[in-house]
Amino acid sequence: MLNNLRPGKIPADMPDDCFEEFDSCDTVACIRAALLELVAEVVPLCADRTLPGRLSEGGFHFAFNIAEGTGRRCREAVPAAVCELMGIPYSASDPLTLGLTLDKAMARRVVGSEVRVPGAVLVQREADFAALENLCYPVIVKPNDEGSSKGIRDNPIADDPAGARSRCERLLRHYGCPSLVEEFIEGIEVTVGILGNTPQERVLGVMEIEPVTRGARFVYSLEVKRDWRKCVTYHVPPRLDAGTVTMIEETAIRAFRLLGCRDFARIDFRLDRSGTLFFLECNALPGLDPANSDIVFLSANALNYRQLVQGILVEAARREAPSTP
């Protein structure tokens, strides 16, 4: 099992969410326990510079990949790319999709051909600030190539171009990455879990995230995710009519296919007041923390934790060896 463990200590010069996407020892242990019901041995391997050496020692037949990787916007693709290099089959999406989905602007370009995305500007350099004038405000400013709500803290919303600019400058200082400035969609937030492979992928569940404190500007921020028991109520299925739920499911599958996802993924959307659905982002390697991860919550009516983890392995194994029943 390829993973990156969350270090115990955060360096003094780094933001406190710098390791947010990494996994805890507990999560690794729970996944390992689930996998051991299906296979004889599971060895956790750290997806750092030692990985190619460890894999070359031999004896590894398959990689269950939950590694977020280290480095810049391609980081999530690297452990999967190492597996390809070593000829070891692995679970979840391939490097192209993992790189594409971690870069929110890239993912929007691909999905945007068929699925509605909010108006946005990618700010990479000084000259990009001018385009902020063209957006409808308010906007949300997020790091373009981060996940786990890193950098999306208590106040990511700006009401004018100057506010958006100062948030972009802050993100560049703290996270060193470009910012995606996106028109803020007020309305219901849903996240959709998908398991399987095209053309037989299926929706595991659609989950509505309802804020406990009502207000037009709810953001499912890092603070909310860390304190979800107090801040949100989850609804599976969402409190929406059947037709809307079907439309959300079909749109999620379309996005999954457009992005070339494999085995499983979680896709976030917002539904505005007029019922238009907007794609926010796709998590091709969503967290599998048994106590805190959205994909675990949204699939709970259909699968318990072990069944979810085992389902991912079974889908990956079937894909790698299509003749296996």
Ligand X SMILES: Nc1ncnc2c1ncn2[C@@H]1O[C@H](COP(=O)(O)OP(=O)(O)OP(=O)(O)O)[C@@H](O)[C@H]1O
| Closest C-alpha to 142, from 188, 97, 103, 190 | 103
140 binds, among Mg ion, ligand X, none (CB under 5 to 8 A by kind): ligand X
21 sits near Mg ion (criterion: CB under 5 A): no
147 binds, among ligand X, Mg ion, none (CB under 5 to 8 A by kind): ligand X
Which residues does 244 contact at the CB level (< 8 Å), separation at least 6? Answer: 271, 275
142 binds, among ligand X, Mg ion, none (CB under 5 to 8 A by kind): ligand X
270 binds, among Mg ion, ligand X, none (CB under 5 to 8 A by kind): ligand X
Residues lying near ligand X in the complex (CB under 6 A): 118, 140, 142, 146-150, 152, 182, 184-185, 189, 219-220, 268, 270, 280-281, 283
Buried b (16+ CB within 10 A) or exposed e, 244-270: bbeebbebbbebbebbbbbbbbbbbbb
* Count of chain residues binding Mg ion (CB under 5 A): 1
Name all contacts of 127-134 with Cβ < 8 Å and 24+ positions apart: 129/161, 129/165, 129/168, 132/161, 132/164, 132/165, 132/181, 133/161
Peptide bond into 199 cis (omega under 30): yes
Site for Mg ion in 249-278 (CB under 5 A): 268
Nearer to ligand X, 175 or 220 (CB): 220
- β-bridge partners, 3: 46
Nearer to ligand X, 18 or 152 (CB): 152
CB of 32 to Mg ion, least distance (A): 26
The answer to whether the beta carbons of residues 269 and 7 sit under 8 Å apart is no
Nearer to Mg ion, 82 or 285 (CB): 285
Nearer to Mg ion, 82 or 277 (CB): 277
CB of 68 to ligand X, least distance (A): 10
Chain residues in the site for Mg ion (CB under 5 A) = 268
